[in-house]
Structure 1
């Protein structure tokens, strides 16, 4: 299984449709076995779900996501979780353990900004 997390400077951040980077974790047998960085290569809101599908990703974890992205990923058989903050590896482990919450479609625009638990400003 592959889990992609929107990341910026090693923390979960951003609006899914405008992600500048994904950290992709490969999970097998309930453990993280590898990770790598994936650049979305100019994809954005409308093309990002197809980009995720083309990269064989099963789950997306992010801070912010709109309803269109939630629906499009679901149509492609990809699970999505929004509202995540902090360490990407910890979020993936929570998903593996069945403890990761989901805020659903928590972005209605692209001007939302907040400070995450690490004190860094996160825009999405």
Structure 2
């Protein structure tokens, strides 16, 4: 399975569209086959799901994501796991074991577009 993890430094980025990087990991039989870090191509509506789909991504892991983005990923057959925090390497280990659990998105609805919040503001719990 090819997984993209929204990445900021060594941690899972709390807002997928504004993360500086994506860590792309191929996991087969519980083992990491390949791992690369790529630049986020830009936060334009609908672009990142298409970009990751073309990269062969089957699952996206992040802290927060809006419902429109979730819908776009689902249309492309890409699983979304939101509400994830922590170090990217720890998340990869959980993916290998099959124990990664998501939760609620860590972003307020509309925070990526500035509806009610500034574009740079997001309601990430500290």
State whether TM-score is above 0.5. Answer: yes
The runs of at least 4 consecutive aligned structure 1 residues that moved more than 6 Å come to none
Map of 2:110 onto structure 1: 109
Map of 2:74 onto structure 1: 74
Q: Could you say what the CA RMSD is over the residues aligned between the two structures, in angstroms? A: 1.7
Between 1:65-74 and 1:104-113, the stretch displaced more is 104-113
Map of 1:59 onto structure 2: 59
Gaps of 5+ in 1: 116-124
- Residues 104, 55 of structure 1: CA spacing in aligned structure 2 closer, same or farther, 3 A cutoff? farther
> Which secondary structure does the structure 1 equivalent of 2:41 belong to?
coil
Rounded Cα–Cα distance in structure 1 between residues aligned with 2:102 and 2:69: 14
Aligned residues: 115
For residues 47-86 of structure 1, give each alpha carbon's deviation from its aligned partner in whole angstroms, at most 9, with x where no partner exists: 1111110111111100101111111111101111011111
Equivalent residues of 2:106, 2:124 under 8 A apart:
no
Equivalent residues of 1:3, 1:59 under 8 A apart:
yes
Rounded Cα–Cα distance in structure 2 between residues aligned with 1:24 and 1:11: 14
Compute the TM-score of the two structures, normalised by the length of structure 2.
0.80
